Structure formats: C-alpha cells, structure tokens
Amino acid sequence: MKSLSQSRVLTMLTYSRQGILRTVQVIESFKTAPAPPGGLSPILQYFGILLEKGELNHLESVELARPVLQQGRKQLLEKWLKENKVRHH
C-alpha cells in the first residue's frame, strides 16, 4: 500500500458502518504493514483514528494495550480507561 492510499484505507475502515470492517484480519494487516519513513506505524494510526472517533472494542483494546504497556506508558492506558475509550472486560 502506498502511504496516501493507506491513509485513506485507514480512515475508511475506522468509519465503516457499525464497525463491520473492524476485524482481526484488519488489525493483523496493519500490524504487519511497514511504517512510512519517519512516520507512525499503520496500526498506531488505526488505533489513533478509532480513539478520536470513540471507543475501541475488546479486541482492539487488547491489541493497543500490548505495545502501550511494553513502552511503559501505563498512564496513557489508565487515561483511556477513565475516558471509556478502551474496554477492560
């Protein structure tokens, strides 16, 4: 995927009706997609757009929590929990 088209795809997926395109396959494809030079990884872009739009589903919450905790940014996860942006059940 080229950077511009990847950005459009990210936006399309995150704004899909009723989250129909927010699947394991989509998450996996963004996790393995290369980041543009000096840019944010596609998976973090995906989660960023979703967080701006509203809350993450359970799978997305788990997938986002892993790298956030690995980076030692527990306070960020706590903030999202308080804002009901991520699910903990």
- Mention every residue, 6+ apart, whose C-beta is less than 8 A from residue 25: none
DSSP conformation class of 35? P
The model's confidence at residue 1, banded by pLDDT at 50, 70 and 90, is very low
Rounded to the nearest 10°, the torsion over CA 58, 63, 66, 71 is -120
The C-alpha angle 43, 46, 51, rounded to 5 degrees, equals 125
Quote the pLDDT of residue 2: 47
pLDDT digits (tens, 9 = 90+) for 57-87: 999 999 999 989 999 999 999 999 999 999 8
Quote the pLDDT of residue 65: 94
* 3-82 CATH, one of 3.40.50.300, 3.40.50.10210, 3.40.50.2300, 1.25.40.30: 1.25.40.30
pTM metric for this prediction? 0.77
